[in-house]
Amino acid sequence: MNQKRNTGRSSEGADKKGGYKRSKPASEKPVPENSKKKFSAKAGAGSAKPDDHTEKRKSYRKAESNAGETWKKKPGNSQFGKRKPATKKGSDENADVFQGQKSTIRLNKYLADAGICSRREADRLIASGVVEINGKVITELGTKVGPGDQVRYGGESLKREKLQYVLLNKPKGFISTSDDPQERKTVMHLVENACKERIYSVGRLDRNTTGLLLFTNDGDLAKKLTHPKHGVRKLYHVTLDKPISKNDLIQILQGVELEDGVVKPDKLEWVESVSAKNEVGIELHSGKNRIVRRIFEHLGYQVVKLDRVVFAGLTKKDLPRGKWRLLTEKEVNMLKMF
């Protein structure tokens, strides 16, 4: 026989046995005497005036709000004194700012940034007594230069300039010098509008050699990129007057004895897309003059075309022949890691 389950609830709510008790409506609850609001007849019918305690709370909140506005108007003023800007832990007091009011740098860096030479070479110039600061000959290494100081070298006033880095895809027919007595076309004509600072080429390319050429006024970086010990990668696309044999490739990889010493490339292989076997890619870090042409001429080959396609990790991507571009910050940081 089915029996109704006793839930302990009625239609009007639960009884005490079920654990529930019906709550009275809000209108039936007794209101304590001390919580009743006081009304003023002067306020008019239907209007109410809060008691003194409520007024005090409003006054406190207003004062707190005003205090907040005062703080916003005078940032940096607090009970602990004027705030100082946060500085990076371990930062040098003589940080190289030079755009602001307070900055000093070492004299050798000043000379390097002015495009005179590298820092190491600058130390030798300073020690030899050919550098002046404010009319006084300086021979002490480590001397600091401030924004208002006048530096002279060889009787000429120097100015520390913004460091610039320009990459050119050199075309054929331009020589890699700043000036030419024979008034031939130089690479400086191609980058003359790249920046207002005076820049120099990092290394050279022959007149008939095309490809990547870097320009900068950063003497330290230029010295580093041209020194063989840093192993700066240079990749050339070489077109020869005839197919090169496998035996000659192996011989070149093993090292070629030239008049100024043995040269051994890092890599050498045929260009896969060319069936004639007269085009090769050669990678090396030697900075010797006309080194690629002399390697192949030593074995009886003539270089018809020579194009530098990679230099220190930089490529010709999106850089047409005869055009230049400024290096990105990421590329500059990469170069400084050598």
Which H helix or E strand runs over 7?
none
Do 237 and 307 fall within a single domain?
Answer: yes
Q: What is the CATH number of the domain that holds 110?
A: 3.10.290.10
Looking at residue 66, what DSSP letter applies? Answer: H
Closest by CA position to 171, among listed 214, 210, 213, 215: 210
In a domain, 189, yes or no: yes
Q: What is the CATH number of the domain that holds 303?
A: 3.30.70.1560
pTM: 0.60
Report pLDDT for 117. Answer: 82
Do 200 and 252 fall within a single domain?
Answer: no
Contact call for residues 225 and 232 (beta carbons, < 8 A): yes
Report pLDDT for 323. Answer: 97
In a domain, 224, yes or no: yes
Q: What is the CATH number of the domain that holds 182?
A: 3.30.70.580
Do 218 and 323 fall within a single domain?
Answer: yes
Dist CA 313 CA 192 (whole Å): 24
Which residues form the domain of 289? 233-311
> Among all chains, which residue has been given the structure tokens 């006084």?
136
Which tokens is 166 given?
Answer: 């320009």
In a domain, 132, yes or no: yes
In a domain, 33, yes or no: no
Pick the catalytic residue from 206, 218, 241, 307. Answer: 206
What is the total count of domains within the chain? 3
- Apex 138 CA angle, 133 and 142, nearest 5: 100
Report pLDDT for 256. Answer: 94
Report pLDDT for 246. Answer: 94
Do 176 and 290 fall within a single domain?
Answer: no
- Tell me, yes or no, if 206 is annotated catalytic: yes
- Apex 227 CA angle, 171 and 181, nearest 5: 45
Report pLDDT for 109. Answer: 87
Counting Cβ atoms within 10 Å, is residue 182 exposed (0-12), middle (13-18) or buried (19+)? exposed
Q: What is the pLDDT along the chain (338 residues), one digit of tens a residue?
A: 444 454 444 444 444 444 444 545 544 545 445 444 443 333 334 444 445 555 555 555 554 444 444 334 344 444 334 444 444 444 443 334 443 334 788 999 888 888 788 888 899 999 999 999 999 999 999 999 988 889 999 888 887 778 899 999 999 999 998 878 888 899 999 999 999 888 999 989 999 999 999 999 888 899 889 887 788 999 999 999 999 999 999 999 999 999 988 999 999 999 988 889 999 999 998 878 899 999 999 999 999 999 999 999 999 999 999 999 999 999 999 998 87
- The amino acid occupying position 110 is Y
Do 197 and 217 fall within a single domain?
Answer: yes
In a domain, 4, yes or no: no
Do 213 and 174 fall within a single domain?
Answer: yes
